[in-house]
Amino acid sequence: MTPSSRDPYPDALRAGALLLVVLGHWIATLPRMADGVLVDTDHLLAAWDAAGWLTWVVQVVPLFVFVSAAVSADGVARRVGQGARAQWWAGRALGLARPTVTYLAVLAALAALSWLSGGHLLAVFDRSLTIHLWFLLMLLTVQALLSWCLRLDARLRLGAVAVLVVVAGVLDLLRAGATSPGALRTLGQLVTERPAGIAWLNMLVVWLIPQQLGIAWKHGRFRGPAAGAGLLLLGAAWLALAIAAGYPVAMVGVTLAGNNMLPPTLALIGVMWLQVGLVLLCEPLARRVLAGRAPARAIAVLGALGMPLYLWHKLAELPAAWLGERLGLPIDAGLPGEPGFWLGRAGWIALCLAMVAPVIALVVRFELRRDRDVPGSGRLADVAVGGLALYVGLAAALALGAWPGAAIGLVAVAVASWRLRTSPR
């Protein structure tokens, strides 16, 4: 679409969120060297407790879900019938599956070459090259429920958001085993100390909240800087109470337990209030800035590069590490507080930026030469089989890493891509 045919503000929000995610991932990766050779990677959150506060800025997945729902709401509402809505979801799934096939194919090839040549870099980055695929799984799931969320908004308006927040809170209470009002003072500590159990349902419930908020924003349920300021105050108070109750400060999880992400907790909802509040507060000024043709064109370009950049930015760490080894650059800058740490971080990010540019250029050139895929007729059987194959492929790559996850995931995602774009006779 031409820049003038789209609302630039949601596109600008998504582009900004994407850039923050990419930079956040690079900042968080701490290469570890021994005798000039990369032997491991550390995570900034594991090395520096104060980095938890930074995640309130770089954890922008709620913002992306919020904006995506607002952009998609009218298109889904215009589709009448289960088949038409299934075809819409199939189109979104196909838009994720097709470039993911290319990414997994390259990962599988690199893994095979690394095994044959005895290379060490891929083994160091193995899991981190597929960990970001979790977002695609989550986004596909909430978008599959977008028509249901639209009906919920029509019936309950902002009450739909309140219902989801209450359900998320009840699941946290059940996880904590809180049976008395006094237990609320240490709710966060109890939640993060205990197995998730039934609270794994918050992997869906919590991520539906920004989607429901995005629909409400699109339908004018709340608007303006005053509402934005109110949500900012709510978010600040919410997070203050959450931290006081023992929830972790970090909104990104490094381990499989004891964090606000696996599964999402009530604390993460506070960040959602902050982000939506900022969207409303900045909207008048942002729309004036984006009214010009040049900003709209820049946002359109970033939007077009969004999926390639998200998929491939982690892979750029491989050549960045290789170049850092060869040139003897300080990519291992030690720990926060030590001399040269932030200089080393800046050098690492510069290497990643230098490496991601040619990678994205090659990917975009390859994708533009391919025929444009069109989703099939929306037959429920085709969509169900294709969707299941896509989930299996993404989950395999996410759980097993570049090897053997990429090879297994490649087969399943390729099947999904074929099934979603064809209607077998």
Nearest to 420 by CA among 379, 392, 391: 379
Q: Where is average pLDDT lowest: 34-43, 113-122, 205-214, 240-249? A: 113-122
Residue that the structure tokens 């108070």 belong to: 237
Q: What is the pLDDT of residue 205?
A: 98
Q: How confident is the model at residue 375 (pLDDT cuts 50, 70, 90)?
A: low
Average pLDDT of span 10-39:
92
pLDDT of residue 374: 64
pLDDT of 141 over the 50 cut: yes
The model's confidence at residue 7, banded by pLDDT at 50, 70 and 90, is confident
pLDDT at 232: 97
Give residue 1's pLDDT band: very low, low, confident or very high (50, 70, 90).
very low
Contact between 247 and 184 under an 8 Å Cβ cutoff? The reply is: no
Q: Is 261 exposed, middle or buried (0-12, 13-18, 19+ CB in 10 A)?
A: buried
CA atoms within 13 A on the CB side of 205: 23
Span 369-373, mean pLDDT?
69
pLDDT of residue 371: 66
d(CA 126, CA 132): 12
pLDDT of residue 425: 38
pLDDT at position 423 over 70: no
Overall residue count recorded for the chain in this entry: 425
DSSP one-letter string for 256-284: SSSSSBTTB-HHHHHHHHHHHHHHHHHHH
Average pLDDT, whole number, for the chain?
90
pLDDT number for residue 292? 77
- Residue 257 pLDDT: 66
Residue 289 pLDDT exceeds 80: yes
pLDDT attached to residue 2: 47
* Bridge pairing between strands 29-34 and 37-43: antiparallel
Lowest mean pLDDT among 300-309, 365-374, 385-394: 365-374
Does the CA dihedral 137-138-141-143 come out positive or negative?
Answer: negative
pLDDT at 145 over 90: yes
pLDDT in tens, 146-204: 999 999 999 999 999 999 999 999 999 999 998 778 778 899 999 999 999 999 999 99
Q: Is the pLDDT of residue 372 over 70?
A: no
How far is residue 340's CA from residue 342's CA, in Å, rounded to a whole number? 6
Q: What is the model's pLDDT at position 3?
A: 46
pLDDT at 424: 45
The residue whose two tokens read 């391919």 is 370
Tokens 């969004």 map to which residue? 306
Taking the C-alpha atoms of residue 165 and residue 160, their distance in angstroms, rounded to an integer, is 9
Encoded tokens for 370:
């391919």
Contacts of residue 403, Cβ cutoff 8 Å, sequence gap at least 6: 108, 111, 114, 115, 122, 126
Q: What residue ranges do the domains of the chain occupy?
A: 3-421
Mean pLDDT of 96-105: 94
Q: What span, in angstroms and rounded, lies between the C-alpha atoms of 388 and 372?
A: 22
Cα–Cα dist 210/219, whole Å: 14
**Does residue 260 surpass a pLDDT of 80?**
yes
3-class SS of residue 84: helix
Helices (H) and strands (E) in the chain, counts: 19, 2
Selected residue with higher pLDDT from 178 and 112: 112
| pLDDT score recorded for residue 119 | 80
Output the pLDDT for position 109. Answer: 94
DSSP for 214-248? HHHHHTTSS-HHHHHHHHHHHHHHHHHHHHHTT--
Regarding pTM above 0.85, the answer is yes
Q: Which amino acid is at 44?
A: L
Q: Is pLDDT of 212 > 90?
A: yes
Cα–Cα–Cα angle for 414, 420, 422, rounded to 5 degrees: 100
